[in-house]
Amino acid sequence: MAKITPDDNNQPHVAVRTPAATGSVHLHGATVTGWAPPKHQPVLWTSSKSLFDGHNPIRGGVPICTPWFGAHPTDTDAPAHGLARTAAWTLDHAGLSEEETLLGLGLELPGLKFAYGVLMGHGLKLVLEITNTGDTPRRVEAALHTYLAVSDARKVTITGLEQTSYIDKVNGASVVPATGEPIAFTGETDRVYTDTDHDVVLHDPGLDRTITVSKDGGLSTIIWNPWIDKAARMADFGDDEWTGMCCIESAAVGDDAWTLEPGETRALAATIAVQSTD
């Protein structure tokens, strides 16, 4: 039976160990902190410097960014990426079979209710449902901020976004037209692709695998790698660790944000699949 146990830092988490997958989910932020099917290297990346203190966001896995993404639109004191990733979620139900582990987590914030389903097996499926419990329409952004482990960020490519323009956050949020080319990391990269429902595929020749990230319910994908200087500026990110990760975030942000009517529920889903290429 899936049960809550303390991790090495005494933080509550559920460790998953089944024939179909090993992994973990921390209640802090409902952060999926590990997932690997058998015979695969870890698919999710977590920084060795991440603070597991029940206060700061976990640096790695899949933090949930909501009700806003990035800086709060008006309140400069509000934390980046919303309140959910640093909140204490509850484990509301758990189910286990040979093939899959299903965890249902919940959280309530003023005017909003969240239900998060984590289905962990040979694939990883994440479904975040958000309900407006207030009595006025509410604009909501959400992102499943997925950190993927890679052999070397300088040697991977990402396909699926060639025909989509993007907002370049490294370059003053300028809008860059579709390049027609796969993405390759050659410096700090922080891009918000909007109005796209395409699957996004990470090609990693060093690990002889591809990782496919599919999304549903949101039309944004964020691609992020901090590169050298930004990694050095982050206290919870090892200086050299930027080579071992990149983020492909399934999201509904910016022009793709939702406006939830009172009582309305919408869901953002991400499915992550890993395929060997050797």
| Binding footprint of ligand BG6 on the chain (CB under 6 A) | 57, 70, 80-81, 145, 169, 190, 222, 224, 249
Tokens standing for residue 82: 């919303």
> Among all residues, whose Cβ is closest to ligand BG6?
80
Q: Which is nearer to ligand BG6, 113 or 169 (CB)?
A: 169
Nearest Cα residue to 193 out of 245, 248, 140: 248
Minimum separation from the CB atom of position 72 to ligand BG6 (A): 12
Q: 205 or 254, CB closer to ligand BG6?
A: 254
Q: Considering the complex, state which of residue 40 and residue 52 has its C-beta at the smaller distance from ligand BG6.
A: 52
CB of 190 to ligand BG6, least distance (A): 5
- Do residues 70 and 220 lie in contact, with contact meaning Cβ atoms separated by under 8 Å? no
Nearer to ligand BG6, 116 or 224 (CB): 224
Which residue's CB is nearer to ligand BG6, number 241 or number 249?
249
CB of 215 to ligand BG6, least distance (A): 15
Q: Which is nearer to ligand BG6, 37 or 63 (CB)?
A: 63
Q: Is 151 exposed, middle or buried (0-12, 13-18, 19+ CB in 10 A)?
A: middle
To the nearest whole angstrom, how small is the minimum distance from the Cβ of residue 222 to ligand BG6?
A: 5
**Residue labelled with tokens 């090609």:** 203
Q: Give the number of other Cβ atoms within 10 Å of residue 36's Cβ.
A: 17
Q: What phi and psi, each to the nearest 5 degrees, are found at residue 87? A: -95, 155
CB of 4 to ligand BG6, least distance (A): 25
Tokens 């590169």 belong to residue? 227
Nearest to 243 by CA among 140, 150, 161: 150
- CB 70 to ligand BG6: min, Å: 6
Task: Give the span between the Cα atoms of 51 and 169, in whole angstroms.
Answer: 26
Token output for 99: 């093939």
